[in-house]
Structure 1
């Protein structure tokens, strides 16, 4: 019973979500050998996966724009984002409970975004494979 609980917890961890996203983008990057073929190919707004509850991401643009965006986010996650010294710091509550509440709010949001981005990378990879078959 403990294994089942641990497996569920690990699957829903931020680290797991980040690993799935990075893995999906790495797979996309290895699959897409000619990124320029993605230019002017419209995005299909059916990125939703019923099993994850992720909805499509509304946007304009083409698959190439998504390809570049996904790689950029992956690189920022792996290498970090350089922030200028002039970056403004938000004033937050000083109580521990406020920090905990803020952390949980942002953690849930980050996991939801990573899930949607992972779906996007998987969809893009799949559509690229379909596209390349027709060439």
Structure 2
């Protein structure tokens, strides 16, 4: 029987960080009824010492579209063709000395994380199946 243990929410966990971002992007999408009003509004940095790649967008409308697109990428996944295109573009930008944009960087890391999680899922399924087979074998031997 599986035992569920209480655990303290770790604010540094990938799961919690992903949930916080998706929640913030969802609230943003539900709050902004007319995204076109964001056109030509300059991006204002709250902290002048920390410039982010998001702020390199032309205006708040571009940031809005980027954040919605990233949320969709996280929720629905990334197409293989899109990943390949993003990787090629990122490599070209790195050669030019540019770090690339946040969405392409996210695609690269999401693809890697997805591949690792898929392998771990397969491994967990194999362990579960092996355990089940052993239990069945032991029950037959009685």
Scaled by the length of structure 1, the TM-score of the pair is 0.50
The verdict on how the C-alpha distance between 1:55 and 1:18 changes in structure 2, with shifts beyond 3 A counting, is: farther
In the alignment, the residues of structure 2 paired with residue 70 and residue 87 of structure 1 have an alpha-carbon distance, to the nearest angstrom, of: 21
Say if 2:22 and 2:71, in contact at 8 Å, map to a contact too.
yes
2:8 maps to 6
Residue 35 (structure 1) aligned with residue 59 (structure 2): no
**1:24-63 alpha-carbon deviations (Å, 9 max, x no partner):** 00000000000000000000022x4xxxxx9341414100
Gaps of 5+ in 2: 1-5, 86-104, 107-142
Give the Cα separation in 2 of the matches to 1:86 and 1:24.
Answer: 25
Query: 1:66 pairs with 43, 63, 66, which one?
Result: 63
Distance 1:81 1:30 in 2: 23
Structure whose alpha-carbon radius of gyration is higher: 2
Aligned counterpart, 2:19: 19
Larger RCO (CA within 8 A; separation ≥ 6): 1
Q: Unaligned stretches of 5+ in structure 1? A: 49-53, 89-108, 111-135
Aligned-CA RMSD value: 3.2
Q: What is the TM-score with the length of structure 2 in the denominator? A: 0.48
Distance 1:85 1:20, change over 3 A: closer
Change (3 A) 1:27 1:56: farther
